[in-house]
Amino acid sequence: MKLNIKKYSQFLLATALPFFAGCGEEMNIPEVITPSHSVIKVSQSGNDNLINIDQVIDFADVSQGVKSRTWTFPTEEGTVTVEGDPTTAQVRGIFHKVGTWEVGLHQEFKNQPYVGDGTTPIDGTSYDTTINVTVMPALEISSMKANLLSSDGQVGEELPLNPSTPTEIPFGSVVRFTYQAIGSPSVVDGNFDGAQLLGNDAENSTFDVKYVTLDKVYSASPVLIRPMPQSSDTLYIENFVKCVRSEEPVTLDEVIYDMANEANVHLIFSRGLNPASVASENFAVKITTADGVVLTPALEASVNPSDESIIVLKLDGEQIYSDDQVTVSYFGGEVETADKAIVAEFEDTALKIVEENLLETAGYDYSFESSSVNWNAGQPSWLGGDFTNTLVKTTERATVGMYSLKISVNPYNGVGAWGNGTIIQPFENGVAHNFPYVAEGSNKIKIAFDGYLEENGGGIDPTIPNQFNTNMRMYLNWGAGGAEKPHTIGGTEEGVWKEYVDVVTVSNIQPSYGMAVKIAQTGLENVTIYIDNIRVTRWNPRP
């Protein structure tokens, strides 16, 4: 056996020697040519490079064919601390002053470089890039005032925020708070002592609060928040109003069914009610199923002890499903407010089903307000290319909060049979941004989001087989098993917000999922869309 191995080795050596001898100095060694291509990554690019004072921001030169590079930072003393060698591929900046600052990168390439998504190289082998970094101040409330709103929404009497005795206001009143603040807050939260925070208008720096309990003295501690980059400030207001009898008529403001909270019908009135005046026989709920069957379940009516402006209707032996149409009626004229105002009768008032947004509950970046979450395209690379020319969180348009995600995709390049396919998904500190999921019922999920189409991409090339208009999909990522719906956006109406809705069945249950957006661009022109307010809710159809 050893002899055979020795002979085999000798044979290999004998055959190899003529090969090496024959090659000599004239042996052809292939030369690998690396194209020059300028590509720069910034850690906060998905947030338009907005950061807080003393927040870290990383810069990386991931270009090909670079011979040398030099990063430059502001030279004003005390502006920035630079970590790393400015001639290396990656550096870090920590900015210490508010303002917009320029970071430069000078590159020398081996050949004429391509830049970004450009399809032709630039003239020369040098290229300079300027990156703007905006450093935001800490949020600070400068001033705040409060005014009563009339029943038709007109701003009325100003209320002192630090009175010697609480100011008396008609109970059921809505108070509008107007503030001035440094640092661009967009969200209002806090403790309002049982009053109802109705809404927040960040553009006009106002928020409205409704006071519904008779004879109660209220305090408040509103918190103004800037989610991106995160900062907040709180104002404490003590014993500033007291609710007294009102001369205004009582109104029914809302009829809802909250699937995540008790699953009862809630009738929300403009002010607190007298619990003794509410009788179950004076109310009726009519449910029309998706099959057209009409149900009128027995019910029990009572006033919510924690908020006496709400009547709770508890259905006996029946529940409301996602695909039901429901109305509520009230007859009898016996219900009165705590200050003896009579509630008017109403018939067949439509009910709104309130569903829990699993993303919002989990603190997911559903409205693009988080400064720690970046939405990236073409990552990981096996998902496909990145055909976006713009992908950024922006304040240009929004339906919830201050920000939306602006996506702009290049015209179809005619290469792939399925258009310029781009997948976009969120990452938090470099890790996929997910939310927890627990199997429940049929595991049907409704996925909805708001979209504003600025450019619809134009038409398609009719000569290309199997062609389709540009579409957009929003789906659970990865392996949920649902067949997501392609929403056609190519050639459709521009300049309006629309709601896009899909219902899928999650068949491959995982402990967590992320969200992903896929745009298949087939148009001959640019397509640009803003998306906001992604909702993932349980869809519970009637069996």
Q: What is the pTM of this model?
A: 0.70
Categorize the per-residue pLDDT at 14 as very low, low, confident or very high, splitting at 50, 70 and 90. Answer: very low
- The pLDDT of residue 380 is 60
Residue-wise pLDDT tens digits, 243-278: 999 888 899 999 999 887 777 999 999 999 999 999
Q: Is there a domain that residue 257 lies in?
A: yes
Q: Is there a domain that residue 20 lies in?
A: no
In the predicted model, is pLDDT for residue 413 greater than 70? yes
Domain that holds residue 163: 140-244
Among residues 87, 114, 136, which one ends one of the domains?
A: 136
Mean pLDDT of 485-513: 90
Q: How far is CA 500 from the centre of its chain?
A: 14
Same domain, 443 and 407: yes
Mean pLDDT of 8-35: 46
Q: Is there a domain that residue 286 lies in?
A: yes
Residues 455, 408: contact at Cβ < 8 Å?
Answer: yes
Cα angle 405, 411, 413 (rounded to 5 degrees) comes to: 130
Residue-wise pLDDT tens digits, 426-461: 988 778 899 999 998 889 999 999 999 999 988 766
Same domain, 98 and 144: no
Q: Which residues have CB under 8 Å from 202's CB, separation 6+?
A: 185, 186, 187, 401, 402
Bridge-based pairing of strands 206-210 and 174-182 is antiparallel
In the predicted model, is pLDDT for residue 139 greater than 50? yes
Same domain, 113 and 198: no
Write the DSSP string, 329-374.
EE-SS--BBTT-PBPPPEEEEEPEEE---HHHHTT--TTS--TTEE
Same domain, 260 and 407: no
Same domain, 525 and 384: yes
Can you tell me the distance from the alpha carbon of 366 to that of 519, in angstroms, rounded to the nearest whole number?
18
295, 297, 301, 304: CA torsion to nearest 10: -70
Q: Is there a domain that residue 41 lies in?
A: yes
Mean pLDDT of 380-386: 65
Strand, helix or coil for residue 468: coil
Q: Which residues have CB under 8 Å from 40's CB, separation 6+?
A: 59, 60, 61, 62, 63, 105, 129, 131
Same domain, 533 and 410: yes
- Which has the closest alpha carbon to 268: 218, 219, 311, 301? 311
Question: Which helix (H) or strand (E) segment is 188 a member of?
Answer: strand 187-191
Structure-block tokens of residue 432: 């996929």
CATH number at residue 52: 2.60.40.10
Structural domain total, the chain: 4
Strand segments (E) across 316-459: 325-330, 346-350, 352-354, 373-377, 388-394, 404-409, 420-428, 431-432, 435-436, 444-456
Same domain, 371 and 469: yes
- The pLDDT of residue 435 is 92
Q: Is there a domain that residue 13 lies in?
A: no
Q: Is there a domain that residue 522 lies in?
A: yes
Residues 333, 342: contact at Cβ < 8 Å?
Answer: yes
Same domain, 395 and 439: yes
Question: Which helix (H) or strand (E) segment is 382 a member of?
Answer: none
Residues 376, 425: contact at Cβ < 8 Å?
Answer: yes
Query: Any idea which residue has 């020369």 for tokens?
Result: 124
Same domain, 424 and 381: yes
Q: Is there a domain that residue 180 lies in?
A: yes
Among residues 113, 136, 159, which one ends one of the domains?
A: 136
- The pLDDT of residue 384 is 62
Same domain, 88 and 128: yes
Structure-block tokens of residue 301: 């009516």
Structure-block tokens of residue 225: 């928040």
- Which has the closest alpha carbon to 320: 269, 256, 253, 252? 256
Among residues 327, 354, 381, which one ends one of the domains?
A: 354
Same domain, 275 and 236: no
Cα Rg of the chain (Å, integer): 31
Same domain, 460 and 474: yes
- Percentage of the chain surpassing pLDDT 70? 89
Q: How far is CA 407 from the centre of its chain?
A: 13
Q: Is there a domain that residue 32 lies in?
A: no
Residues 457, 470: contact at Cβ < 8 Å?
Answer: yes
Can you tell me the distance from the alpha carbon of 483 to that of 521, in angstroms, rounded to the nearest whole number?
19
